[in-house]
Amino acid sequence: MAEQPRHILRAEQFADVELLGDLFERSDYFAENLKRGDGRQSLLGKYAGRIMFNMFYEPSTRTSLSFQTAAARLGMQIINTENGKEFSSVSKGETLEDTARVLAGNRPDVIVLRHYEDGAAEVMADYTRGIPVINAGDGKNEHPTQALLDLYTINREFGRTNNLRIIVGGDIEGGRTAKSLVRLLGLRESNSIELVAPERNNASPELKKEWEALPADIDYTYEFDETTLKSADVVYWTRTQTERGNGHVDPNFVLACRHLGSMPLHGIIMHPLPRNGDLLPEIDNDPRTRYFQQSANGVPTRMALLDYVLGR
Ligand code: NCD
């Protein structure tokens, strides 16, 4: 098995199938224990007294709360900065390098970072003198822990993360969840991935070039109708990243009940959430939807990821 990562910065760090399988097993272990009172109790001693800095320089509901819940379930102490862009020293002009040195000086056991700049977590990891950094989403770049909980969700459903047909729709260019997902699922030769988005939101020429090197079969589609979902095992929809200047949701790419007729009955519908007019609530009662379960899977998956970086 590949070495356990010290920092979690990119989805591709989990390219090794054995490491990924081990992550799924650990996440299952935590999920099982969370279901039972005595199980929950027993986990509280695991990392009691360890400290997690939860540094969020961009808005978040799911990711921040699920990291905090994961840490609390492991008995950790959490120190939280929300709205870091306004309330931290960044507003006084402090560089990320200096912030990283200062955070490291306080000797937390792990730093979880969400940041508006691409590559921010990598920069921080260079300056924390070995204190683990977990990337909770950096700009338009990556959201590795989301991709890992997405794969955990897929694996629970199908018992595999290969030999699948995956349709990823919405905003590929602006969405870091879609990118991290493609970077992981694209590593399996037997996967077929179709990226469905209007031209301005579909993969940029740079991304296409990067993904050309991936072994999976990757196609790009600029139009959307129900035939697109034919033979899909996974339909993964995303919102348009309006705050990153990527426009507003194109009405022709809104996922609605009328698209689901040709989707196989065994398929599942996923979304990293939040949605914003891109996936209609009328779909919620379809038995194939998994987005709320997917979001809940964030807690055991992030417990497993904390366990990797703390338990090395
Ligand atoms: C995503 C994010 O922040 O990248 N949300 C999440 O973490 N579940 C998706 C988004 O903001 O659209």
Q: Give the distance (Å) from ligand 1 centre to CA of residue 169.
A: 14
Q: Is 6 in the pocket of ligand 1 (CB under 6 A)?
A: no
Instruction: Supply the angle between the helices 144-158 and 298-310 in degrees, to the nearest 10.
Output: 120
Cα torsion for 202, 207, 209, 212, to the nearest 10°?
-80
Check pLDDT > 80 for residue 142: yes
Q: Give the distance (Å) from ligand 1 centre to CA of residue 142.
A: 10
For the question of residue 62 being annotated catalytic, the response is yes
d(CA 177, CA 203): 13
Backbone φ and ψ for 52, nearest 5 degrees, come out as -110, 125
d(CA 179, CA 108): 30
pLDDT value for 196: 98
Check pLDDT > 90 for residue 136: yes
pLDDT value for 233: 98
Q: Taking residues 87-112, what's their average pLDDT?
A: 89
Check pLDDT > 90 for residue 2: no
- pTM comes to 0.96
Q: Residue 166 — very low, low, confident or very high, per pLDDT cuts 50/70/90?
A: very high
pLDDT digits (tens, 9 = 90+) for 169-223: 999 999 999 999 999 999 999 999 999 999 999 999 999 999 999 999 999 999 9
Q: Catalytic: which of 50, 62, 85, 244?
A: 62
For the question of residue 179 being annotated catalytic, the response is no
Burial class (CB in 10 A: 0-12, 13-18, 19+), 176: buried
Q: Residue 97 — very low, low, confident or very high, per pLDDT cuts 50/70/90?
A: very high
Q: Residue 292 — very low, low, confident or very high, per pLDDT cuts 50/70/90?
A: very high
The three-point CA angle 139-145-149 to 5° equals 130
Q: Taking residues 147-168, what's their average pLDDT?
A: 98
d(CA 42, CA 109): 21
The atom number, within ligand 1, closest to the CA of 58 reads 3
Q: Taking residues 131-148, what's their average pLDDT?
A: 98
Residue 82 CA: distances (Å) to CA of 64, 157, 240, 274, 284: 9, 34, 23, 18, 30
Q: Taking residues 34-61, what's their average pLDDT?
A: 95
Q: Is 244 in the pocket of ligand 1 (CB under 6 A)?
A: no
pLDDT value for 168: 98
Q: Give the distance (Å) from ligand 1 centre to CA of residue 38.
A: 33
Check pLDDT > 90 for residue 59: no
- Give me the chain's average pLDDT, please: 96
The atom number, within ligand 1, closest to the CA of 241 reads 12
pLDDT value for 288: 98
Burial class (CB in 10 A: 0-12, 13-18, 19+), 34: middle
pLDDT value for 80: 93
d(CA 85, CA 98): 15
pLDDT value for 183: 98
Residues with Cβ < 8 Å from 19, sequence gap 6 or more? 1, 2, 4
Burial 135-172 (b: 16+ CB within 10 A, else e): bbbbbbbbbbbbbbbbbbbbbbbbeebeebbbbbbbbb
Q: Give the distance (Å) from ligand 1 centre to CA of residue 134.
A: 15
Are the C-beta atoms of residues 5 and 13 closer than 8 Å to each other? yes
Backbone φ and ψ for 250, nearest 5 degrees, come out as -75, 125
Q: Taking residues 21-46, what's their average pLDDT?
A: 97
Check pLDDT > 80 for residue 282: yes
